[in-house]
Amino acid sequence: MSLTAHIPSHRKPRRSASKVALRAGVAGGVLSTIAVAGAAGPANAEPVTATIEMPTLTADLANTVAVSAEATQQVAHAYDLQAQQDEAAAKAAKAAKKDKAEAERKAEAEAKRKAEEAAKKKAAEEAAEKAAAEERASRSSERTTLSASADTSTGASASVGSSASTGSGNAATVVAFLKAQLGDAYVMGASGPNAWDCSSLVQAAYKTVGIDLPRVSQDQSVAGTQVGTSNLQVGDILYWGGAGSAYHVGVYIGDGQYLDAANPSKGVVIQDLSGYPASGAVRVL
């Protein structure tokens, strides 16, 4: 007969498989211990009647395990989020570095382009200034030559209408002087060498052949012999307005053209009489 056959059965309500398995393992160990103790003890030992309470998995322990699992999951999620943020930051830094390099490249290219444009502009300005200086020097040389030629041909100043100032040679000298001033500016009251008004230009032209004319257009319009505009000769002084009250003068250069210091927008130019017919003319050569 088994030593444990007389032990009363104390059954508890059915539990879950996991709990039953756990308790079975514990019970097996306890019963083995009791069996060994019974074998070693006296034959007339008192029967074991104590009830052994199996350990149970309490709700608090289960809750603790669940909380621990959730905390672990949260930590894992936090690490994953941090990794994503670090990767995004690295990409942003790389993109910013690339954008900065591109911006610097564009800025350098723009600065180079502006420097080249400035250099070209400066070169063009220097070339234009050089050309203007050469033109001024050429005009000055022509004026000097004309002045010397006039001094040689006349020997001295002659009064208006005198025989010393007549002849086609003097008219050619006057026209040559006038053409040497083409392109000069028109400035009211100016008397050369690079800017004129209408009457100062006429006065300077005739001075090259020794003829002293009045300074203003009103007086120049009556300084010589009145001639009709249909019978003009090279070198005749043209005027616009009445004789003695003219407001503009120029010099007839042939082929229906005249040369004058026209206005601030045109400067010294050659124009056609057909476009702006003169009111009258005087002959001083």
User: How many Cβ atoms sit within 10 Å of the Cβ of residue 157?
Assistant: 15
As for how many domains the chain has, the answer is 2
Residue 61, domain member (yes or no): no
pTM value is 0.47
Question: How confident is the prediction along the chain (285 residues), in pLDDT tens digits per residue?
Answer: 455 555 555 555 555 554 544 454 544 554 444 444 444 445 454 555 555 555 555 677 778 777 888 888 888 888 888 999 999 999 999 999 999 999 999 998 999 899 988 888 888 888 777 776 676 666 656 555 555 554 554 443 433 433 333 446 899 999 999 999 999 999 999 999 999 999 999 999 999 999 999 999 999 999 999 998 999 999 999 999 999 999 999 999 999 999 999 999 999 999 999 999 999 999 999
Residue 118, domain member (yes or no): no
Last residue of a domain, one of 56, 74, 93: 56
Same domain flag for 160 and 52: no
Same domain flag for 161 and 275: yes
Residue 7, domain member (yes or no): yes
Q: Retrieve residue 164's tokens.
A: 């010393």
Residue 76, domain member (yes or no): no
Residue 174, domain member (yes or no): yes
Name every residue whose Cβ is closer than 8 Å to that of residue 36 and which is 6 or more positions away in sequence: none
Residue 176, domain member (yes or no): yes
Last residue of a domain, one of 19, 40, 56: 56
Strand order in the sheet with 280-283: 225-227, 280-283, 237-240, 248-254, 257-261, 268-272
Helix-, strand-, coil-residue percentages of the chain, each rounded to 5: 55, 10, 35
Domain with 49, as residue range(s), is 1-56
Residue 266, domain member (yes or no): yes
Helices 198-207 & 168-180 angle (0-180, nearest 10) = 130
Same domain flag for 51 and 168: no
Residue 136, domain member (yes or no): no
DSSP secondary structure letter of residue 1: -
